[in-house]
Amino acid sequence: MNKNVSKYASEHWSNSDYKVRAEIAHQKSVCVATSVVRKAVLETFEKAFCLGEEEMKHKATEAFRHFVEDYCNESGRKDIAAESEHYLKVFNELINA
């Protein structure tokens, strides 16, 4: 606590009053610190969640690409394999909607 505040407190407040006010000030500073930490944790979680979501979309797109390009070609559906870019575009629009 600031020296001027301490001097004022000692001159104008009783000892118990000073202790209560000091405890209130301490609790307020703890609440502010907790709020700042909570906000930082939530922002970090949100960023991680978004990165995880993007990674999942990327993996899904790659799996769909493999299916359209390789499996359809190997199974004789060359018409679908030939139009793979169109199907990938539609797939990406659907998962990003």
Return the SS3 of 1: coil
The band of 11, judged by pLDDT with boundaries at 50, 70 and 90, is: low
* The predicted structure's pLDDT at residue 4: 55
Q: Tell if the pTM clears 0.75, that is, is over it.
A: no
Q: Is residue 69 within 8 Å of residue 81, measured between CB atoms?
A: yes
* The predicted structure's pLDDT at residue 47: 78
Name the CA radius of gyration of the chain, rounded.
31
* The predicted structure's pLDDT at residue 92: 87
Of residues 88, 14, 83, the one with CA closest to residue 58: 88
Spatial separation of the C-alpha atoms in residues 47 and 53, rounded to whole Å: 10
Q: What confidence tens digit (pLDDT) does each residue in 19-47 have? A: 666 777 767 766 666 777 777 777 777 77
The band of 3, judged by pLDDT with boundaries at 50, 70 and 90, is: low
